[in-house]
Structure 1
Amino acid sequence: MIICCTSIVNSSYWKNSIKNPMVQVVFQDNHASQKAQIYWLHQVLVQLKTKYGVKAYNAVGHSLGANDIVNQALKYGHDKHLPTLNKIVTIGGPFDGLTGFLSTQTESTVRQLDVKPGRFTKHFSEMLKYRHNFPGNVKLLNVYGDTNTGYNNDGFVGVASARSIRYLLRGKLAQYQEAFYSGEQAAHCALNQNPSVAHKMIAFLW
């Protein structure tokens, strides 16, 4: 995932000439539990504020990284030791797990349905409990894809699962946008390398 620092004061690390520095967060143990990853991300954000003077940030996450960003904000949304979260870009986030992976509905039908999941996974139900913690005035761009192979997913994450974040954060966001991609460039591991996604993300963030 990427942390984009949008407001910095008294930094002893970055040069004043650097605008909006980016921090790539890569977990050494990417098979650790999500609970551990959320805690590690929280510690990174605390350090960015206390040690480097970061006052506000944007966050970009792909796949489980998207889940980590959202869950960190849900769990620690009111922590005063954190910089202010402005914007989030989620790419192929399995927010309601892999439900709908073998869907027989067409893509157009899925996109017209209510974003409320047909059934809640244990993970999604847990996230719902922390809705009240989510910080205010956050804008979110949700990117998801369908490889057009008849299963309404990007090869790993179902369209309905990726879109369920809209239901999760209903009434909590200052702005919500969706960006849908289809075909080979919409495959789960191709989405974050898709130039169109990059342009959309840059326009949204900056």
Structure 2
Amino acid sequence: MMTNRHSNMWRIGYFALGSIIFIAIGLFLWHDHQDQERLAEENYINSNTPTLFIHGWGGTLRSEKKMASDAEASDAAQRRMIIRVHPNGKIAVTGTIEKWMRNPIIFLRMDNNRAGEFQYARWLTRVCKLLKSKYHIDNLNFVGHSMGSYATVYYNMINGNRQDLPRANKLCLLAGPYNGIINNGKQNQPITGPLAKLWDDQPNANKLLKNGRPKTIHPEYQMLNQLKDRIPRQIRILNIYGDLNDGSNSDGVVTTESALSLGYLVKGRVNYYQTFKATGPNAQHSELHNHNLAVDRSLTNFLWGKHYNMSSSAPKYNPMLDKMMNPGMAFKRQNQLKAQ
């Protein structure tokens, strides 16, 4: 009897201790969640305008998830839809977009991920037409990487403010090859066909004139130049580019001159244009969207930050605002975890 009584008391004690630990963990998680929500409310806007992520040459959904991961981790935005474009142009949609959703993210996957930026833009037109007609999306942000950036600019130039398409709001463009791609002779580079002409640049072979116009103009840039007056004026652009600091003045794939040549096409034609330069090994072409903290912060705050300086009088280069680099922002918890 005495043994059973002691056994029951130990069981009760273990149960009570377990309950206390469980409740403590729950309170900690709840408090942590509340703190994260408070930071998100303080630092990020509450908008139902979706943001469409567009990968580049050979890109996949994985590329876009990496670009969006820190925005989701900080509760600035949340993925809500995946759109898949089959090689024949057929569109498949997973998820949905509703008016009540806060800063929703849409991932766009093109099965033929080596079709090139002009085909990307044509598919992008079909996708955006669907978003307008079926999901009643009136405004849309864009995030593009590499050829996805070029396709985004080209799409907006050929379509302007068409009534059957969502009105373009913000464009966050990473590593855009607007005036040539470095010919590295790699296997994933087309050797024949019309797309092979796009790999026609070399490090330090070009320069920007005083007015921002490139000295050497490649065919793909000439096409944008002919359409530049058609770009919607309300658009706001953040042009992110990389420099490895290895003397090539490039991210290894796109030269800074090629990336910055966008300025000549859009300055004075759009509502806002700003550049952001990433440097060092993490500024490599593919690494720009692979958890590059400075790039992630600039992307997140440009699209959704309450404290982002969107003044038209802002300088061409701005080290992305004191607010953004303040560890008291929503990245505070991530930085603390890394430091532990």
The TM tier, using the shorter chain, reads 0.7 to 0.9
Please tell me whether residue 31 in structure 1 is matched to residue 31 in structure 2: no
In the TM superposition, residue 113 of structure 1 has moved relative to its aligned partner by: 5.5
Which of 250, 269, 272 aligns to 1:172? It is 269
Kindly indicate whether residue 170 of structure 2 is the aligned counterpart of residue 81 of structure 1: no
Q: Secondary structure at the match of 2:261?
A: helix
Deviation at 1:76, TM superposition (A): 0.7
Amino acid in structure 2 at the alignment position of 1:59 = F
Q: Which structure's relative contact order is higher, taking Cα pairs within 8 Å and 6+ residues apart?
A: 1
Note if 1:44 corresponds to 2:136: no
Q: Aligned partners of 1:16 and 1:68: how far apart in 2?
A: 27
Q: 1:94 maps to what in 2?
A: 177
Q: Is the 2:116–2:147 Cα contact (8 Å) retained in structure 1? A: no
User: Which segments of 5 or more consecutive residues in structure 2 lack a partner in the other structure?
Assistant: 1-51, 55-76, 79-94, 182-199, 305-340
Deviations 1:98-133 (A, max 9, x none): 36632179xxxx799652101110110011111121
- Using structure 1 for the length normalisation, give the TM-score: 0.87
1:57 alignment partner, one of 130, 140, 146: 140
Unpaired runs of at least 5, structure 1? 6-11
Q: TM-score, normalised by structure 2?
A: 0.54
Whichever residue aligns with residue 273 of structure 2, its letter is Y
1:147-189: per-residue Cα shift (whole Å, max 9, x none)? 1111100000000100000001121111111100110010000
Deviation at 1:35, TM superposition (A): 2.5
Q: Which amino acid aligns with 2:238?
A: L
Does the CA-based 8 Å contact 2:209-2:215 persist in structure 1?
A: no
Distance 1:190 1:114, change over 3 A: farther
Aligned: 1:14 with 2:97: yes
Is the alpha carbon distance of 1:174 and 1:90 closer, same or farther for their aligned partners in structure 2, counting shifts above 3 Å? Answer: same
Give the match for residue 205 of structure 1.
303
Give the number of the structure whose residues are more often helix, by fraction: 2
Q: CA RMSD in A?
A: 2.3
Give the CA deviation at 1:25. Answer: 0.9
Paired AA for residue 95 in structure 1: Y
CA, structure 1 residues 88+2, in 2 after alignment: closer, same or farther (shift >3 Å)? same
Aligned pair 1:70/2:153, yes or no? yes
- 8 A contact 2:241–2:251 mirrored in 1: yes
Structure showing greater Rg: 2
Cα shift at 1:78? 3.1
By percentage of residues, which structure has more strand?
1
Letter aligned with residue 37 of structure 1: Y
Q: Which residue of 2 aligns with 1:146?
A: 243
What is the alpha-carbon distance in structure 1 between the residues aligned to residue 285 and residue 251 of structure 2? 5
Distance 1:187 1:111, change over 3 A: farther
Aligned length: 196
Q: Structure 1 stretches (4+) deviating beyond 4 angstroms?
A: 110-114
User: CA, structure 1 residues 171+149, in 2 after alignment: closer, same or farther (shift >3 Å)?
Assistant: same
* Contact kept? 2:179, 2:217, Cα under 8 Å: yes
1:67-121 C-alpha deviation (Å, 9 max, x unpaired): 000000011113211111010011000100136632179xxxx799652101110
